[in-house]
Amino acid sequence: MGKNVHVVPKGGKWAVKKEGNPTPTSTHNTQRVAIKAGRDEAIKQRSELVIHNPKGQIRDKDSFGNDPVPPKDTKH
């Protein structure tokens, strides 16, 4: 399983960052577009997507790796 992928606020925009990496993978004007890019990266990395709210707090998570108890939701 790869590093978790985070969607975080960054200077009025939204950044997609791999956990532990200070440099964003990509930056987007809207959270919706950043979530899409983050989801694609998490699927590629077989990792977890962690979505933060505008204050930086974790809002939601979705797993795309080898989760022994995969979520049954379809929200993302």
Q: What pTM does this model have? A: 0.84
Sign of CA dihedral 34, 54, 50, 2: positive
pLDDT of residue 13: 97
Rounded percentage of the chain residues whose pLDDT exceeds 90: 75
58: left (phi over 0), alpha (psi -120 to 50) or beta: beta
Q: Tens of pLDDT along 10-64? A: 999 999 999 999 999 999 999 999 999 999 999 999 999 999 999 999 999 998 8
What are the backbone angles phi and psi of residue 9, rounded to the nearest 5°?
-70, 140
